[in-house]
Amino acid sequence: MTEPTPPEPDQDSASFWTALAEHRLVLERCTACGRHRAAPVPACPWCASTGTEQVESPGDGRVYSWVTVHRSFGAPFADQVPYTIALIDLTEGARVLGRLEAGTSPVHAGLAVSARFFDHPSWTELRFAPAPEAS
């Protein structure tokens, strides 16, 4: 299996990737309006406040939408099709992308999922699997 090109963290996002490598999902929370965001940015996209605190998330959420990739567009993923990428609305309100672990079927909007940490040689990928109590 060809390894995908690792993410290239920037000054804003480094904390997100560092936490994932420790198998922790860390969100940013705006200290002014209280909204959470997953991809770190220098100010709140809802209120422009730069007041930010980092909060650890248990990684629980629900599927907002998903796509199943049947034809690969990059060599690293050619032997993995079909695979499913979902948008997950975390309980805190932040929306994140993640692959649903193989065997997550059928998928439906609102499916309860929880975070999984998938280690690559040099980085850790956030994935999701059905939550234990999911119906």
Partner 1 sequence: MTAAIAGVGYTEFSKASGRSVLDLARAACEAAVADAGLPLGAVDGIVGFSLMHDSVPSQAVATVLALPQLRLGLDVELGGQAPCHLVGLAASMVETGQADHVLVYRAMNGRSGARVGTMQFAGLGAQYRYPIGYDAYLMYVAMWARRFLLETGQDDDDLGAVAVAQRQYATTNERAYRRAPLTLEQYRAEPYVVEPFRASDCTVEVDGACAVLVTSLDRARDLRQPPAVVAASVYRAGPRPGLDIGDHLLWDDYTRNYTSLLADELFGRAGLEPTDVHVAEIYDCFSSTVLIGLEGLGLCERGTSGAFVRSGATALDGRLPTNTHGGLLAEGYLHGMNTVAEAVLQVQGRGGDRQAPRHDVAVVTSGALMDGSALLLTAG
Q: Which residues contact 106 (CB under 8 A, 6 or more apart)?
A: none
**How many chain residues are in contact with partner 1, going by CB under 8 A?**
42
Q: Which does 123 bind (CB under 5 to 8 A by kind): Zn ion, partner 1, none?
A: partner 1
Residues of this chain that interact with Zn ion (CB under 5 A) are 30, 32-33, 44, 46-47, 49
Cis omega (within 30 of 0) on the bond before 82? yes
Distance CA 100, CA 82 (A): 11
6 binds partner 1, rule: CB under 8 A:
yes
1 binds partner 1, rule: CB under 8 A:
no
93 binds partner 1, rule: CB under 8 A:
no
With respect to Zn ion, which residue has the nearer C-beta, 44 or 63?
A: 44
83 binds partner 1, rule: CB under 8 A:
yes
Q: Which does 39 bind (CB under 5 to 8 A by kind): partner 1, Zn ion, none?
A: partner 1
Q: Which does 51 bind (CB under 5 to 8 A by kind): partner 1, Zn ion, none?
A: none
**Site for partner 1, rule CB under 8 A:** 4-10, 12-13, 17, 37-39, 41, 45-46, 64-74, 76-77, 80, 82-83, 85, 87, 95-99, 109, 123, 125
